[in-house]
Amino acid sequence: MLVEGLLNSNYYTSATQKHTLATAGVSDVPVEIVVGVRIERHDLCYAHEEADIVITQHATMCSLSGKCVRVVCDDTEVFVLLVHFYHIKCRGRNSAPMIMSYLVTERAVTDIGTTATAHSGIADDLLAIYGISRANTVASLHGVGKATVIKLAKKGTLSLSKVDDVKADMESVQA
């Protein structure tokens, strides 16, 4: 509702003279506002319904195109996706900085690039780690919580590289 109201007003013509505002989720066609001009980005159309994925895709593309990115979001899944994909796609390339800030102003701003570098040892497996550890009810019955999964991943004793390998045999996936 907030984004729809912003896009339907003339506010953005003066508020975006120095910055680019990219919005997603209002329709299948993302809108970018550059120097006060509204541009419907048909080249960035998507059919995916999850805003987390759309936000991550747009943030990564903007960073790779050299634009500094600030994602305003309170979602842990978005944070995990940003760190993982920044590590996979932006690391070692001439990508622009990416930060994540939260809706609550008292919370810290997180530098996604620095976080991805600091945790590069587990960044490749971050999606699988999050998938295992976020199911707290099931995993906790077996003595596995977020701290345990992260500790095992940092030690290198939790190999998750076979989880998405369609050619891997079941024993190596379960190991």
Per-residue pLDDT of 99-148, as tens digits, reads 999 887 777 899 999 999 998 888 887 887 777 766 555 555 556 666 67
- Please report the pLDDT score of residue 63 as a whole number: 92
Q: pTM of the entire structure?
A: 0.66
Spatial separation of the C-alpha atoms in residues 49 and 51, rounded to whole Å = 6
- Give the chain's radius of gyration (CA, Å): 19
Count the helices and strands in the chain (H runs, E runs).
10, 6
Q: Comparing 72 with 13, which gets the higher pLDDT?
A: 72
Enclosing H/E stretch for 111: strand 110-111
Q: How many residues does the chain have?
A: 175
Report the mean per-residue pLDDT for the chain: 76
Could you tell me the maximum CA-CA distance found in the chain, to the nearest angstrom?
A: 59
Note whether 110 and 83 are within 8 A (CB): no
Task: Classify residue 86 by its DSSP letter.
Answer: I
- Please report the pLDDT score of residue 1 as a whole number: 44
Instruction: Write out the two tokens for 108.
Output: 């810290």
CA torsion sign, 99 to 104 to 105 to 108?
negative
- Please report the pLDDT score of residue 140 as a whole number: 58
Spatial separation of the C-alpha atoms in residues 133 and 147, rounded to whole Å = 8
Domain ranges within the chain, ordered by starting residue: 1-47, 48-121, 125-175
